[in-house]
Structure 1
């Protein structure tokens, strides 16, 4: 297969992944304000799309981590080839779509890293992967950031409820947090653009370096930034209604004050990570913030068994996508026929998932009007405080 053609195919496939990343992660920013009624569904995803587009232009530190750090350099540049990047992207996209079909808020970031790592190990060897970067820029942030965001959300929720403490006969002032959520959720969407769009920028830049079209260590080109920003914005506008339904339905018990605290903490953690070049999972940070905000509200308990299931899902994403990327890389090793087989099988799986999803269509009309409960939302359980019997109730009992 013509070398330039495979580079073009990889770039197109990377933008497809960027699109799936957009609709897969829309719920992280907009599920809560949709569930609390702060924003209408279509308005929410439109705002998220615009802010993802803007956020993608604000930084390239994460893109540099991927293009110049994740994969080790060889004699003629990076050791990975465009064919292997193609295989890694197939693994990431397939896993993203499988979790989307199931309505699971998994990490698109880890799906991408897993696919690339699996393909690199099969195609070049374990030495092709810079595990120091994987540990310091991917794994450690994945462990630390949700905890920090959760603690921040816990403290913010405590403060919010203390400041707006309810006095007898007086409103508590917490209704205003519903409108504050418009700001906080928008900030999460902006932060998502600064972090997640860059991952695709890094992959495309890595492909250009591997193909000899760009020098090692050179910055991300403007057309790469613009195309990735547009792709993730279009994906975000598409809504990802299945995951919004999953997260939004479970978050209906979360009060606006908690939602505001969780979203603000999520945005702060992601923006800080983007500045430091950490390739963070927005999903994990958002889940940590939800748990923290729930604990910050009096009368809540944590279902640690459910929290463990969420953590297990996070752990599985990296190896599952790595296995898929490795399988695709094995086929790619057969040359042109292998690339064709990868493309055909990948297309069959993608079309199959899409057709399967048509059996139960989810849109902005029914995304938050069902009784399904999101795992992250179910981690926090609010105990209902019994209502004190009124004078009329006591009279009825006496009679």
Structure 2
């Protein structure tokens, strides 16, 4: 009985449609599911609209539904799938149908970004922030298809906070006449005392950033340039300062600017990044030559080993000792210069009489106060004083000079 009713219904539908024109086996759809268009069946046209869902469990194309009967199709007037949106009669593209990956900075090494792996639901499975591998290398994470991929890049001006630092020296003026001193925001680096003479921004309104004459050489000493444009920021004078591990400070000493990061602190030593260069470990009372006539010295290390305890260092930037002379603790190292050559001097052994060094890659004999040792390049290292405090925690140090 049920089969009979079904056959009669199908015949009736086919007869009705035949009266409207020739019945095609399938509808003709002139557009894709994601585009607004028309479909034709039996001479009748239907335009995609987003109003109701398909009344039948099956559908063909973006305009037609199939109730399962041969030749019987009804207009389908909803969007492609429930995941689609609707925009001016067009179905939007499907949402993500599987795991996917997003990159907040678009693989820009000058910006710290975060790559996120997502489940198909959109929930975050894992996050991978950009980071600094060392003072001059950034690990940039980006998406390769649905997978996060990390690549190391060298940073021309150093790496900080997961991004390459922007260069200060964007544009120079050759002479005062190259620069317009009437710019709206004349807060620029003084060429005479800083070595830079440009202003970031578009002060002359020519539509081009950081070009002449967006520059001027006559701003007050101590101003710096930020990524947001020219601005006055008086720098603290080094001097001496204090930093917690992981913190940084920028300051001036004489006519030079120093950007100092305390990157490592333990009970007896500390390491800095000074203007993008990593120092050796420096102990209490020790120093490191910066190679520009200045040195950074450590006066106090605080290392509280309990949870939440303070890890800090007090330090100074000052004029260096005699270029060829130095002071170093046992196991520590320092750099000194003689002429145009730099020497990396490590005190590998100290007792109550002798000290032994590694100078660059060369090992010396044991030397006592007043002794000298001839280096392979013709220079000599001499010991002026050995200090050996035999009690627990006592200082073991040596003062020395390298001379021609």
Q: TM-score, normalised by structure 2?
A: 0.20
Q: Which has the higher strand share?
A: 2
Q: Which has the higher helix share?
A: 1
Higher-RCO chain (CA-CA 8 Å, sequence separation at least 6): 1
